[in-house]
Every structure is written in structure tokens, then in C-alpha cells.
A and B are shown apart, each in its own frame.
Chain A
């Protein structure tokens, strides 16, 4: 499943970023990479950005990008 499908408050572990080098390094810069644990904070209405927490940082991610972040249940 990807992070858009997670429920609010749910935790998961990132297992894959489905994208090119650009996307991988962009997500990497804010600490989102395979192996890290993230917590879903919110979805926005009408396919808006999702907000997740990584470590102590909250990050807003546009939907298209968010769909490429694959997680597994913790």
C-alpha cells in the first residue's frame, strides 16, 4: 500500500520509493527513504496533499508524489 491509503494516526515502514533519482533524492532530503518509520497525520479533501510525520518532522506531500511512497504495516 502507499501512504495515501494509510489511515490517520496509522504507523508504517517505508519499503520502496517508486520513482526516478530526482524523486528519490527529493524525498530523501526530508528523511523519507526505505527503512524509516512514518506516521500518517492527515489526508486533505479532493485529492489534496497528505501530511506524514518522519522523526520529529511533519511533511506535506502532493498526492501524485505520495502515491509513489510504498509502505508496509507496522
Chain B
């Protein structure tokens, strides 16, 4: 035995089981389409090291989206065992895939997940009988608490293939027979979560409900973000700065090195020293917002609220050429554009993906950039912040309208499963938050520090002035910004939060700040986003999207310069 595939319908809890088996942390949420790419991990049974693969969910082995394509492809490559994960509260529908799997020449073992939920849903399943009928081991488990996982592992070697013969056109008849044999339903009362389900999906109550959630989300993110920043800031200024200055001046008596490490002015946001601004931006300004945003997002994800937004926004999003489920990639993009773009894999057509990607990139800044904008513009008053966000929102929508008209093709209709509300399980919630924060520490923080370092070097060597003198004139005349901001635009490609931070020393007035912020959000994707774009959409589409962004940014900035 060398390789195990975890296969099942979307949103049956494969990723949680994967984490349990391998100890590898992957993001799991309560909506279909969380996993769009396979993840590999290893588990040990005795002395044997076995590869385990978490496969994106699929309803059948007939491909309709890229995520499903991955599943079928993995199956074709062969494997020693398939663990077919089933949502035991939806046995009938899930058995469809099970029977298809049993036709293949790969040993199968069935894991009945969400076993704990069957009780209060009034469902009772005769596991032994199901096992007898299917001819393969069936194990009841609860992924989030880990109940039954050991049993599953112990019985892996019993997995069998081709144990259930049936004719394709009698598939549902067979499934119906199985269900009458193994499943009993008893009446149950409406619960609070059932009521909430109805309230949040019916438009008359659902739309106000969504607006309240949205408002609370923004309030909470800002409250926690600002709170943490004001907690970290004094610590940084009163202790860390003094400490690090002393150390650096003692160890490196060379002015050039001191300027590079500590910057040239004592103001932390203007000095651009590697150890001052280079740490202040990621840890004091950005981290609090990353933390608060992902905390709120993770709670909403695990409750299962996001697909409801997709349903409510479907009509509106169809007007700009995508269906409602695009709301989820867009929301993920508020945090970071990269996971947002990966999530577009659940969309069926390339046309939708292009429109969705343009929307994700333009509708709002990513959370690090948002944090910097709030830090820089916030003290002029919230109304300017709101103005910046409204301008971006409006531009993205207009852009969507235009793309919808230009790009040929139709928008597929929404067709998606809406998961039941679930009460978030705190350990998995914390784990998910940690995965996302870790990604920020490992991938973003080094880039931020590198960005600050490059700015410092260019500044010390006076290259910034040199470039500004050569290329700066259009910036002054068209955008109304100081010519030195050209360096900001060149470096903004590296990290978008750093690009906003770079504006601080220029002492721009509020009009210039608004123009600069809007321009820097729109003009180019950051380097990480750029490579994701290439991977997801190819060179041609990437160039198209970059052209659209650059053109829109310039056009809007000129317009704002004229009317503000």
C-alpha cells in the first residue's frame, strides 16, 4: 500500500479527515469548493509510510469544472486505495459517487462522516447492513473530533474493489433499495439553525440580514485591527526602537549601514530603515488587520454563511457577467488576491474567470494594502476612506459591465449546494486562522522587508532621485502627484502595502492621497498575484488583465485629478 486518495462530494469534510490522517494542516471550511487543488501528505501505519492525497470534491466522475477535473485525473493516475468520504446526513445523494467508484478497479473503503449530526437530524443508518450490501468496509466517523479515525485506519487493508454490480440506468433504483434497507428517518422539530436558514435565504429577510452581517463584519475588522495597532504601536516606539537603535549604533559604527538599518529620520514611517519601517509595516500596521479579517472570515466560513451571499447576489452579479458564486472568491480577495483567484476554479468558463479575476483585483485593495490606507488616510476622517472604497467599487462594477459586453459567451446559471449552518468548531477555526497567519509570516513579511530594503538602498544611493528626474514628469502633469512617487509605482509591484507606505514621506494633501491610493490599488497586480495569474489564466489573458488595470488606473486617476 503506497497511495491513498480521499474522494467524495464537495463539502463532506475531506480536508478535516486529511489533516487528521497526516497531521498536515489544510484549510477547511463549510462550503463546497474550499479545496480546488490536491494536497499531499504522509501517514505512517506501523513502519510503512503512505502517501495520502486530499482531492477536490466531486459529485460524479463526469467532469464539469476544473476542480472536478483534478479529481478524475487523480483517479486515472491510479492509487492503492480510495477512501470514499460520505456525508451521512445526505446518504442517498452521496451513494451515487460511491457506486461509480465501486465500478473502477481500485479498492474502496467508505467513511461515513458527520456521524454526530445524524442523531439530532433524526437519521439512523445501519452501518453493518450498508457494509454487507456494498461489500466494502463502512466506518462511521466524525472528522472534527477524530472519533472513528483509528477504526478507519485499522480497516484500510480490508478495502475491496468491484464488489457491487449494477446497470447504469438502474443506478437510482439500486440506491433507493439500499436506502430503504439501511436508513430510517424519524420526525424532528425545527431547530434554531433551521429558522436561521430560512431567514437568511428568503430575500425579504435575507437582504437586511446580509446588510447587518456586512456592517458587523466591517465594524469588527476595524475595531480589532485598530485596537491591536494601538496596542502594538506604543510598544514599538517606546521599547523596540530605542533598543534596536542602541544595538545597531554600537555594533555598526558605519553611517551607511546605520542609515540602511535604521533609516535617516527618527519617524518610523518615513525612515525606511530595514529594522525600523521594515518591521513596523508588517507587524504593527498590517498584522492586526490580517488577524482581524481572517478571524471574522473564518467564523463566517465555518458557520456556512458565504453561499447564502452567493444566492442573494446572483441577480446583481449576472449583470456583470458572472454568477453568484463568484461572491466567494471576491470575499476571499478582500484578504489576499491569491487565494481569491485560486477560488475562481469553481467557475466553469474562461470568460467567467477573466471577468471574476478583474473584479477580484479591482473591487477593493487586499487586506495589507487596506491596513496601510486606513493608517495613512484614516486620520483625515472616515469619509475619505469610504470615498476611496466607493470609487474602487464603482470602477470594478463599471469594468464588469464593459467586459460582460465585450467578451463573447453566456454566463452559466447558478447551481450550487447550500451547506447547513454549523456551529464553528473552535480548534479547527484556530488552526485555519493560524494557517493563514503563517502564510503571511512566511510569504508576505520577507517580501515587505525586502521591499523596504530596496527602497532604502535606492534612497541611500540616490537612485530614486535619478529615476524621478527622468520619468517623473508625466506623473506631475497628469496625476498631480510629486515626481518622486514614480519610485513608489515601480516598487509597488513587489508589495502593495509597501507602495502605500512609501507615500508617507511625501506629505501629500488629501486629494493627492485619494488619487495615489486609487491608482496604487488598480494599476498593477503585486508580484505574487502576477504569478498566480500566469498559472491560472496563461500569458495572453494575464497581459489582457494587466492592460485593463493599467489603463483603468491611469484613466481614473486623470479623471479624479480633474474633478476632485
Contacts and interface: CB of A to CB of B under 8 A. Distances in A.
Interface in A44-73: 44-49, 51, 54-65
Residue of A29, A60, A65 contacting most chain B CB atoms (<10 Å): A60
A60 B315 contact: no
Interface string A30-51: 1101010000011111111101
Interface in B51-74: 59-60, 62, 64
Contacts of B415: 26-27, 30, 59-62, 65
A31 B93 contact: yes
A25 B62 contact: yes
B462 interface: no
Contacts of A30: 59, 93, 415, 417
A10 interface: no
A44 B314 CA distance: 9
Given A29-B96, A41-B198, A44-B311, A56 B89 contact: yes
B149 interface: no
A64 B413 contact: yes
A33 B121 CA distance: 24
B26 interface: no
Nearest to A45: B203
Contacts of A47: 315
B414 interface: yes
Contacts of A55: 90, 92-93
Nearest to B202: A42
Contacts of B412: 62
B6 interface: no
A58 B417 contact: yes
B93 A48 contact: no
B137 interface: no
Contacts of A35: 172
The size bracket of the interface on B is 20 to 34
Contact of B323 (A26, A44, A45, A62): A62
Contacts of B96: 28-29, 31
A55 B59 CA distance: 15
Contacts of B312: 44, 48
B310 interface: yes
Interface in B283-311: 307, 310-311
A48 B308 CA distance: 13
Contact of A45 (B123, B201, B315): B315
Nearest to B310: A60
Contacts of B93: 30-31, 54-55, 57
Nearest to A50: B311
B418 to A, nearest CB: 4
B197 interface: yes
Contacts of A41: 198, 201-202
B198 A56 contact: no
Contacts of A43: 203
Interface string A10-23: 00000000000000
A42 B203 contact: yes
A57 B94 CA distance: 11
Contacts of B414: 49, 60-62
Interface string B234-263: 000000000000000000000000000000
Given A31-B92, A59-B418, A62-B414, A51 B201 contact: yes
Interface in B491-544: none
Interface in B192-207: 197-198, 201-203, 206
B90 A57 contact: yes
A34 to B, nearest CB: 9
B92 A44 contact: no
A63 B121 CA distance: 30
Contact of B417 (A25, A26, A57, A63): A57
B416 interface: yes
A71 B415 CA distance: 18
A-B residue pairs, 9 tightest by C-beta: A62-B413, A29-B59, A31-B93, A58-B418, A48-B315, A62-B414, A42-B202, A60-B311, A45-B203
Interface of A: 8, 25-31, 33, 35, 41-49, 51, 54-65
11 contacts: A8-B202, A25-B62, A41-B202, A42-B206, A44-B203, A49-B413, A56-B420, A57-B417, A58-B201, A60-B414, A60-B418
Given A28-B60, A29-B96, A30-B93, 20 more contacts: A26-B415, A27-B415, A33-B172, A35-B172, A42-B203, A46-B315, A49-B311, A51-B201, A55-B90, A56-B90, A56-B420, A57-B417, A59-B416, A60-B324, A60-B414, A60-B417, A60-B418, A61-B413, A61-B414, A65-B415
